[in-house]
Amino acid sequence: MKKYFTSESVTEGHPDKLCDYISDSILDAYLEKDENSRVGCEVVAGKNVIFVTGEITSKGKVDVEKIVRNAIKEIGYFGDVDIDYLKCDVIVNLSKQSPDIALGVDSSKDDGDIGAGDQGIMFGYACNETKEYMPLAISLSHKLSARLTEVRKKGIIKDIGPDGKVQVTVEYGDEVRVDTVLISIQHRSNKDLSLLKEEIIKEVIEKIISSKYLKNTKYLINPTGRFVIGGPLGDSGLTGRKIICDTYGGYARCGGGAFSGKDATKVDRSASYMARFLAKNIVANGYAEKCEIQLSYAIGMSKPISIYIDTFNTNKIPHSEILKKVNAFDLTPSGIIKYLDLKKPIYKKTTNYGHFGKEYLPWEKIVEM
């Protein structure tokens, strides 16, 4: 029986991703000044206004407005039909971390170095569908989104903008194939849309997706026929609203907590990265073909409340042995931060095209377990 699964990615100019990128840019700036900075930074974007709020405690001093404008400039908006990095209003409304939260982080209640910055559940997932150990649909979606940015910034396709979405539907049957590729990309009003479709197929889709998957594939390029107004002028944006794009494209479970703008004491981020590291290494070491790991934490406590592992009956060694391998790692916030070196200002690199599957990130390294 044929089965179909669809995942979505968005480009760096999508209004939600703009907000994520600003949040992570602010986080990196504070970590450059003080590696122990506590940052929980949220951004709202809409109608030429950027609103920055949240809680930050740091010894470093940062020009937040300058970072906001630089981030908008780096993305490369048109300015006339999306957002102007010089003319937009930037409103900064930041305070220090709540003393109640700081108390829980600074002194754990179970003898760890630090406690979790919040309660919550986090999932990590890996499978052997792709060389990145990611599900195929989200892997292709991210690569297509990244290619859209590349052809725009290099001028390979002219008169397209930074705001866009990609959706890939994979068919699983006797063989695996890509059933549908849907791409909506911002463009100048005078862009020839029939030419745009040809360029997208030739310079984006066929450059990224192997011909072995492109069999009777349907292409939907800007199906509304027009996408001129983009970015926060076309739709409002908000930090943390693309958590399915950021994780596994809906193919695996999601804990619900967003990543961007949060320092590593927030287990929403750090424990999700560690769960991915563990799941990936279980698969990469040949212990299972698929693996999903859940970690749960309580605010102010360092050790996870629970660890859940599901290999979907693909494990090659006993489940108890896999659990032992996972338990060999220090899963306290301080242990995760130390092992993955999460005090470094690396977070802008994670914002776009998924937080997983990029081999240069520390939680993507493969080790012997």
In the three-class reduction of DSSP (H, G, I as helix; E, B as strand; rest coil), residue 139 is classed as helix
Confidence of residue 103 (pLDDT cuts 50, 70, 90): low
Please give the share of the chain, as a percent, with pLDDT higher than 70.
96
**Does the residue 218 lie in any domain?**
yes
**Does the residue 241 lie in any domain?**
no
Q: How does the average pLDDT of the chain come out, rounded?
A: 95
**Does the residue 277 lie in any domain?**
no
**Does the residue 149 lie in any domain?**
yes
Number of domains in the chain: 1
CB 121 within 8 A of CB 295: yes
Q: What tens digit of pLDDT does each residue of 242-274 get?
A: 999 999 999 999 998 999 999 999 999 999 999
**Does the residue 156 lie in any domain?**
yes
Looking at the predicted structure, is the pLDDT value of residue 108 above 60?
no
Q: What tens digit of pLDDT does each residue of 120-166 get?
A: 999 999 999 999 999 999 999 999 999 999 999 999 999 999 999 99
The DSSP symbol for 156 reads: S
Structure tokens at 349: 């690199």
In the three-class reduction of DSSP (H, G, I as helix; E, B as strand; rest coil), residue 254 is classed as coil
In the three-class reduction of DSSP (H, G, I as helix; E, B as strand; rest coil), residue 194 is classed as helix
**Does the residue 103 lie in any domain?**
no
Q: How many CB atoms lie within 10 A of CB 360?
A: 8
Domain that holds residue 192: 3-9+136-231
In the three-class reduction of DSSP (H, G, I as helix; E, B as strand; rest coil), residue 100 is classed as helix
**Does the residue 365 lie in any domain?**
no
- d(Cα 268, Cα 273) in Å, to the nearest integer? 9
Looking at the predicted structure, is the pLDDT value of residue 97 above 80?
no
Compute CA distances 197 → 8, 10, 99, 163, 203, whole Å: 19, 18, 54, 16, 10
**Does the residue 97 lie in any domain?**
no
CATH number at residue 145: 3.30.300.10
